[in-house]
Amino acid sequence: MLSLLVVALISATLLPGGSEVWLARLWCLGEPVPMLWLVATAGNTLGSLVNVGLGRYARHFQDRRWFPASRQGLARAEHWYRRFGEWSLLLSWVPLIGDPLTVLAGVLRLPWWRAIVLITLAKGMRYGVVLYLANAWLLPLCQA
C-alpha cells in the first residue's frame, strides 16, 4: 500500500506518472477496495497540495528568465481562474489541466482548507470511478 501512496503522490505533482495502473494491479492482487481508494486518494491529494505549495512561492521567481510563464501568460491564467473560481479545482483530476490548476490555486493564495476539501473531493471521485471500472472490466483479466 505504501507503494500506491508514493505512486499516487508523484503522479499528482508536475512530474510525469500514472497511478491507475498500479491501483488496478493491487486491485487484481486482492487488496481491499476501501483501503485502495483511501490510500490512492490521500496520495494524489498530497501530491496536488505539493503543487499548491509550489504555486504559493512561484511569484517570488516570476522575474527570472527560467520562469515557465510570461507575465501575460500568468495574467491570462489568473483571469481564467478568477472567472471560473476555486470550483475549477474539482477538475484537478483531469490529465494535463489538473496539475496547472492546483499550481494556480497556490499562486492565487486559495486558503489551504478550501484547496484540501476541493482537491480531496475531486481525487476521491476519480479513484471511485477507477475502482468501479476495474471491477466492471478487469475482473476477467485478473482471474486469467
Q: What is the DSSP string of 10-32?
A: HHHSSS---SHHHHHHHHHTT--
Distance CA 54, CA 2 (A): 24
Distance CA 109, CA 125 (A): 24
% of the chain beyond a pLDDT of 70 = 92
The model carries a pTM of 0.84
Q: Which of 18-22, 65-69, 74-78, 82-86 has the lowest mean pLDDT?
A: 65-69
Which set of grid coordinates corresponds to residue 139?
A: 475482473
Across the range 18-27, mean pLDDT stands at: 86
- Provide the terminal-to-terminal Cα distance of the chain, rounded to the nearest Å: 23
Where on the phi/psi map is residue 68: left (φ > 0), alpha (ψ -120 to 50), or beta? alpha
Q: What band does 122 get if pLDDT is binned at 50, 70 and 90?
A: very high
Query: For residue 41, is pLDDT > 70?
Result: yes
Query: For residue 45, is pLDDT > 90?
Result: yes
Q: Where are the domains of the chain?
A: 2-143
Write down the pLDDT at residue 14.
66
DSSP tag of 136:
I
**Comparison of pLDDT for 135 and 89, the residue scoring more:** 89
Give every CB contact of residue 58 below 8 A, 6+ residues apart in sequence: 67, 103, 106, 107
What is the signed CA dihedral for 59, 112, 85, 5, rounded to 10 degrees? Answer: 100
